[in-house]
Amino acid sequence: MQGAGWVDGEIIKTLWSLLNIASTSAWGMSSPHHQELLDFQISDCNFMKMICMVNSLIWKLTTVRVVVEMAKWAFKTLDEAVSAMQCDMWTYQEQVAFRDQMVDPSTMDIFEVQMKKAPTVHTIELEFLNNMTSSRAQHGMGSWLARSLRLEEVAITLHINHHNVGVHAPELKRLVIA
């Protein structure tokens, strides 16, 4: 996205934890004294930031280098999986969003992740049963298939639970596994 970047945060937000500690001491003070105490605390925090800035910048640079490599890999993976037609459509949608964002900010919604919820097992079973012909045998086969899938899911869960239960597990948990 044009103009996007990683922002470190507003200065006041990084001071909240220290100011909360100092503000309890200032409750009984007069308003000017209270202001002076908070100003002193903020100035001290800013001075300490200047002293520690080099280490902070080195850490941030190291972090950014790792994140950039991860972003490059993710983009390359996505780019290889997308067809040329889909890429052209996305480019057009991006251009329209940037062009119209001042007039209609909702055009930027195109950048939101739009995921549909996966259907539930019951929904799939009902759809499967509705798509079958009226034969009772086929309806029974659909229910049998859904139950066998549930049985397989339970078997996998049991295997995972059995693997995670050790010798020193509580008796109730071992009884459930048994």
Q: Which of 47, 41, 50 is nearest to 16 (CA)?
A: 41
Q: What is the pLDDT of residues 31-44, one digit of tens each?
A: 888 888 888 888 88
pLDDT > 80? residue 58: yes
pLDDT at 74: 93
Is the pTM here over 0.85, yes or no? no
Residue whose pair of structure tokens reads 């139950």 in the numeric block: 147
Mean pLDDT rounded to a whole number for the chain: 80
Least confident span in 62-76, 121-135, 153-167? 121-135
Q: Which whole-number Å values give the CA distances from 115 to 76, 106, 112, 163, in the listed order? A: 21, 18, 9, 34
User: Above pLDDT 70, what percent of the chain?
Assistant: 84
Q: Where are the domains of the chain?
A: 11-66, 121-177
pLDDT > 60? residue 134: no
Query: Confidence class of residue 95 from pLDDT cuts 50, 70 and 90?
Result: very high
> Whole-angstrom Cα distance, residue 91 to residue 83?
12
- Give me the torsion for CA of 89, 93, 98, 101, rounded to 10°: 180
pLDDT at 81: 92
- 3-class DSSP assignment, residue 59: helix
Q: Kindly report the CA angle at 18 between 50 and 24, in degrees rounded to 5?
A: 145
Query: Confidence class of residue 73 from pLDDT cuts 50, 70 and 90?
Result: very high
pLDDT at 12: 58
> Whole-angstrom Cα distance, residue 124 to residue 127?
5
Instruction: For 81-148, give the DSSP string.
Output: HS-HHHHHHHHHHHHHHHHHTTT-GGGGGGGS---PPPPPHHHHHHHHHHHS-S-HHHHHHHHHHHHH
Mean pLDDT of 7-16: 62
Q: Which of 93, 87, 92 is nearest to 111 (CA)?
A: 93
Q: Which of 119, 135, 116, 136 is nearest to 127 (CA)?
A: 119
Query: Confidence class of residue 124 from pLDDT cuts 50, 70 and 90?
Result: confident
Q: What are phi and psi of 97, to 5 degrees?
A: -65, -45
